[in-house]
Amino acid sequence: MMTTKTQRIEASETRIFKAVFPNTTNHYDTLFGGTALQLMDEASFICATRFSRKKMVTVSTDRIDFNKPIPEGSIVELIARIDDVGRTSCVVKVDIYMEDMYSLKREQVVTGYFTFVAIGDDKKPIEILDN
């Protein structure tokens, strides 16, 4: 079945929900920045792989903005979406939304960009999309 690049982008959007438990927080009782980055890298990897259906590796991150701390007891939703596509690479934008567990309050609190390269079995870059 033939699909357009736009259809593939839409179909590869990835959403992950997590609860912020004490084992993922720092001494301020907010989500560790490193844990947030790990979750973002995982969501962006899944998105890039779903888009390309190839072996993908993270090659860089760019501009991670932590706009507000995420307190313990929050629910977070990570939304990863393809932002740009090159010959062998793609950029995935990841937004983290924070929700209060006991109200309808929800806000976007972190944004970052992750670049992935498609690789072959020889671990060298390959075309991300088959023509």
pLDDT tens-digit map of 47-105: 999 999 999 999 999 999 999 999 999 999 999 999 999 999 999 999 999 999 999 99
Query: Averaged over 5-33, what is the pLDDT?
Result: 96
**Full-model pTM:** 0.94
What share of residues in the chain are helix, strand, coil (percent, to 5)? 25, 45, 30
Do residues 70 and 77 lie in contact, with contact meaning Cβ atoms separated by under 8 Å? no
Nearest by Cα to 94 from 73, 77, 106: 77
Gap between the Cα atoms of 81 and 70, Å rounded:
22
Cα 10 off chain centre by: 14
Distances in Å between the Cα of 48 and the Cα atoms of 30, 75, 78, 85 are: 28, 24, 14, 10
- The domains found in the chain, sorted by start residue, are 5-119 (3.10.129.10)
Confidence class for position 15, pLDDT limits 50, 70, 90:
very high
pLDDT over 80 at 131, yes or no? no
Q: Which residues contact 72 (CB under 8 A, 6 or more apart)?
A: 20, 21, 22, 25, 29, 30, 31
